[in-house]
Amino acid sequence: MIVTLTANPSLDRTVSLPSPLLRGEVQRATSVSQESGGKGVNVSRALVASGLETVAVLPGGDSDPVLAGLRDSGVPFAALAIHEPLRTNVALTEPDGVTTKINEPGPVLSEDQQEALIGLLLERSRGASWVVLAGSLPPGVPADFYATVTRRLRSTRDGAAPHIAVDSSGAPLAAALSGDASGMPDLLKPNAEELAELAAAAGFATASTADELEADPEAAAAAAAAVVRSGVGAVLATLGSKGAVLVTSDGAWLATHPPVKAVSTVGAGDSSLAGYLLASSLGAAPADCLRQAVAHGAAAASLPGSTVPAVHQTTPDAVTITALRKD
């Protein structure tokens, strides 16, 4: 079983435009859709679509539209009751797949609510193979929250803790590299921009921009290797249409997929992580976990809104794996 924690879940509304976004103008949408979202929720949705057991842990009132959406879509969840409404995020997608996102901050979580949410996660993650800590943090939650949760999971499992994956950005992601090894995840899932920031924080000597890392997979692998040397178990770095790089202590690989017509990139990175975890749960080797990650990400980009693919909608056989140098 794979348990996800989404501390700042959302109702994700996707507005499809018939032409490029025009600032200051009136435009009529061609379609509008909405899904229960947040990175961890999206991972659980993708796992459910492929028949894998999962539980999404999140805050939210019983009548909140986010929880209602999870019920309607058959995603198992455990919610910490709060009185404030969860946030709504809006994604504007253009015909060529360019996406503009507007994310609300979310409700404030008090220290007592944070402790209760951790307790709920500890309870529901017993026997889990993976725990995914994903997304932004709501107001009131310290940046090292995920590192704290990681240490708590490991300290209460007597050596039988699940593998822990972190997919976040900004200060919460940077905090995943701070402190001792007990707070570092087994897997980090940055995009190219986040990888550049992480590599700099890990002391990587060669500064690179996101565009440079996407254009040069060897540089991306070297940057990810610097993060692994800091104590993280593995780095799965998604590089947009250029594929993804996986670096572990044992090797580095690039995976690419033939071009797809991008409809919406919302949730593509979350689907990539779900594909990796799906393959890992089936005992696949690291390179094959990467293969499924890229297949899932490509399938998600070809689907409308924040729709997540099932495994039968992916094409892992179309993915090319190339071994890379990591230093």
- 139: buried, middle or exposed (CB in 10 Å: 19+, 13-18, 0-12)? exposed
CB 147 within 8 A of CB 175: yes
Query: Active site includes 270?
Result: yes
Closest CA to 79 of 48, 120, 49: 120
Residue 290: CB atoms within 10 A of its CB come to 29
Q: How far apart are CA 321 and CA 26, in angstroms?
A: 45
Q: Which one of the listed residues 270, 288, 317, 327 is annotated catalytic? A: 270
Q: How far apart are CA 236 and CA 221, in angstroms?
A: 10
User: Which residues form the catalytic set?
Assistant: 270
